[in-house]
Amino acid sequence: MDDYKILSIIVAYYPDSETLLLLVDELHNQTTEIIVIDNTPAENDIVWETLKDQPDFYPLRIVRLGKNFGIATAINIGIDVAKNEGFTHVLLSDQDSQPSFNMVANLVRAYQDISRIGFKIGAVGPTYTDVYTKITYPFQVQLPRHFFYGHKTPTPDNPHIEALTLITSGTLVPVEVFKDVGLMREDLFIDHVDIEWCHRARSKGYYLFGTGYATLYQRMGDSYLRVWYLGWRNESAYSPLRIYYRLRNFVALCRLEYISWRWKLRSSWYWTKVIYAHIFFGDHRAETLKMATKGIWHGLQRRMGQYKK
């Protein structure tokens, strides 16, 4: 990895101190440098108080924004640092991610293997497991002779999966790709920021890969729900406000020409199931219905940015 100068970009918002310390400790051992972009409001100094007395973590930078500008703006600040200071790659991370001890080295190994085949790589992401549901998620793929997208899991014989999208956390991206594809779309604020960027990258000829070489534990929601879909199962649970953002931004993505209408139709079915799960099995059913309806309506009205009552 000597030729790889990797900047870890961690986006923080009221983080749990213990979890953040574990994450920074792990990424300190795996990447060149860490920058924490803190979206926590100015009156709360939890990120600084958590990290200021940890000299073993340096070089480490903390950028306090003073208010919540959203995940896209925070990531873009980190990317600008990477571009201006000669980093070759960025490693994107949520504040509560739990990477394996060799995740970054294995992402680099996967990147090198795939590059030798001749692919124009936009990003490489790990296989991830939800902390709450214990579900290890497959990657979204467009299977041959299938109208809608399907899912595929890496195997020892086929460790790298060409994916339609990757989640933000754990994703390794060459800095040069941002110069061509562009930065994260800030008006989305939170949710679908990674999905939109992935579709944009693919529209410009880049390939995205999920790899079985690398693993990550990730909190996909706020907790989990027990849901009945012809049998009981665990599903990620989200607050009514997150449901608002997820639905509003999905509507925004449906207006984008570079996203396949087949993906939009298939994803519409997925979001129908999410609404069903939260309205019938969630803890805040009436509020969820209200915010889901408002999210769809604001998406149709093109009311983007941070939610305002």
pLDDT tens-digit series, residues 128-165: 998 887 889 999 998 888 888 999 999 999 999 999 99
> What integer is the mean pLDDT of 238-264?
96
The domain segmentation of the chain, as residue ranges, is 6-218, 223-301
pLDDT tens-digit profile of 268-284? 999 999 999 999 998 89
**Residue 40: partners with Cβ closer than 8 Å, 6 or more residues away:** 12, 13, 14, 15, 46, 47, 64, 68
Strand 33-38 to strand 6-12: parallel, antiparallel, or no bridges (unpaired)? Answer: parallel
Q: Domain 6-218 adopts which CATH fold?
A: Spore Coat Polysaccharide Biosynthesis Protein SpsA; Chain A (3.90.550)
Peptide bond into 59 cis (omega under 30): yes
The pLDDT score that the predictor gives to residue 73 is 98
**Pair of tokens at residue 58:** 């340096």
Angle at 21 between CA 45 and CA 42, to 5 degrees: 15
pLDDT tens-digit profile of 52-109? 888 777 789 999 999 999 999 999 999 999 999 999 999 999 999 999 999 999 999 9
